[in-house]
Amino acid sequence: MFTEEESRCILSIQLSDSATMDNWFWSEEKSGFYSVSSAYKLLQQQSGAWPCSGAVSCWQNLWKMHVPAKVHHLVWRAMAGCLPTKEYINGGLCRGGGY
């Protein structure tokens, strides 16, 4: 199943001496809990496409709104220019069938 080299590498992995339970955490949030907004920010920073600081506060305000997730998604799509409006579809920006 493994090559001799892979087997040596696997067997050289030191096992934990800790008797405590493992825990999941998301290092991009102080709370340790995953959030879509922190993942989005991380991806934007890694790709070098994170917007200027004025836009950052706008996005932060969006994610802080106490609304259902579907509202966050709708507003995010509107701000990003991703809503399938009639103008967008008929303007040739969308390659769909116009429905």
Output the 3-class SS for the chain: CCCHHHHHHHHCCCCCCCCCCCCCCCCCCCCCCCCHHHHHHHHHHHHCCCCCHHHHHHHHHHHHCCCCHHHHHHHHHHHCCCCCCHHHHHCCCCCCCCC
Amino acid 99: pLDDT: 39
- Range among 3-7, 33-37, 81-85 with highest mean pLDDT value: 3-7
pLDDT tens track for 36-78: 888 888 877 777 665 555 666 777 888 888 888 888 888 888 8
Amino acid 96: pLDDT: 47
Assign 3 a pLDDT band (cuts: 50, 70, 90).
very high
Does this model's pTM top 0.85? My answer is no
